[in-house]
Amino acid sequence: MSNLPSMTQEERLQSLERARARSAAMHADKTLKREWDDDEYWQELAQQRGVTLPAKHLPPEPHLVRRYLRKIGVKEGEFKMWGAYPSIEAFAEFNPTTPLRALVGFVLEYAIERDDGRAALKSSLRRAA
C-alpha cells in the first residue's frame, strides 16, 4: 500500500487543463525560431545516437537541456566550456530565439565531431607505437 496521496478527479482535470494551457502558450510563442536548415542533418545525427529530437516549440529549459546532455553523452562542464556559457541557464539568456531542438542539434554535431576526433587520435597513436 502506498503512502503517496492520490489526486482527486477534480485535481486531475485541473492539472490537465494547466498542462494544455502551457502547451498552447508554447505553441503560440513566436519568439523561438522554428525552421533550421540543419534540421534534417540533426535528425540523422539523433538517429545515430538513439535520441529523439525535441519538438520545435520547446524552449531550452535547464532540466531538459541536462536530460539531453546525459542522453548524448556530454557532461555539463564540457557543455559550458564548449559554448563558453557560465551556466546552462545562460544559454537561453544569450540565445533567446533558439529552441531546445536546435540546441540539441548543435550538441549532437559537437559530440559527433568530438568522438570522431578522439577515434582519429587513438588510431594515429596506435600507428605511431
What tens digit of pLDDT does each residue of 53-79 get? 999 989 999 999 999 999 999 999 999
Q: Do 99 and 59 contact (CB within 8 A), yes or no?
A: yes
The one-letter amino acid code at 66 reads R
Q: Confidence band (pLDDT; 50, 70, 90) for 4?
A: low
Query: Residue 30 in 3-state DSSP?
Result: coil
pLDDT at 21: 64
Rounded CA-CA distance 29/100 in Å is 14
> What Å distances lie between residue 25 and 20, 31, 62, 91, 112, CA to CA?
9, 12, 19, 21, 34
Rounded to the nearest 10 degrees, the angle between the axes of helix 100-128 and helix 39-49 is: 60
Evaluate the CA torsion angle 68, 47, 115, 98 in order and state its sign.
negative
Evaluate the CA torsion angle 87, 92, 95, 101 in order and state its sign.
positive
Considering the entire predicted model, what is its pTM? 0.74
Rounded CA-CA distance 69/79 in Å is 8
